[in-house]
Amino acid sequence: MTSQLSQHLPTTHTRRPRGPTLSAHRLPDLPGRVAIPAQSRGAPGTPPPLEWFNDTPGPDAERALLSCLHSPRWARLLAGHRPYPDTASLLAAADEATYDLSPEEIAEALASEPLPSLPEGTYSAAHTALNAAHAAYEARFGHVFVISLDGVPEEESLDRVLTDIRSRLANDPEDERVVAAEQLRRLAGERLRDLLGARGTARPATDGPAPDTCDQAPPQ
């Protein structure tokens, strides 16, 4: 299995500091991270992403999930409930599992988040405004600002980030923890759909405002 998966190992990148040269929304490199392989086009013997995810050893499945959300328990929970009959079932389980994360686990996941994804060159063009907004947010809440930009037109993404970060600066820390947890849930789902080659798949029925607590039971 190891030799079969070696072709799917991602290229190692060096994490760059935040600033005008920041790359698009990307999780920091994790030791031994394995990516779910993209759907094969004409490569005989390469399984579809969901089949790979269901059949690959547990540690590899967990490392792939950590590229979506850096929460070890979330990754173990989803990997431990394999196999999934279809992509929608996995996405629904992933969505529900985020609600089971404790405040400490949310904080751990937030600590590994990069800045929001924006069009190439945005951080250079709006360096002063973005840096000031991000600095104020991190000083107030102690973690990077996270936001899902799924469905936001590229030309509107900068305005959306600046508007939301300034609005959310008015939140008290507990309210913002709930908002940030909801954004993490959305981002995890988007990344997982990308890894599964299921970008067009609708969000699970659980999509909606995050609950005030994170003590729901894990998916069965």
Distances (CA, A) of 157 to 17, 86, 119, 161: 21, 32, 8, 6
DSSP per residue over 160-179, as a string? HHHHHHHHHTTS-HHHHHHH
Query: By the 8 A CB rule, do 62 and 149 touch?
Result: no
Q: How deeply is 106 buried, as exposed, middle or buried, from its count of CB atoms within 10 A (0-12, 13-18, 19+)?
A: buried
* pLDDT of 70 above 90: yes
* pLDDT of 10 above 50: no
pTM strictly above 0.85: no
Please state the domain extents for the chain: 113-180
pLDDT digits (tens, 9 = 90+) for 71-128: 999 999 999 999 999 999 999 999 999 999 999 999 999 999 988 877 776 666 667 7
Q: How high is the mean pLDDT of the chain?
A: 75
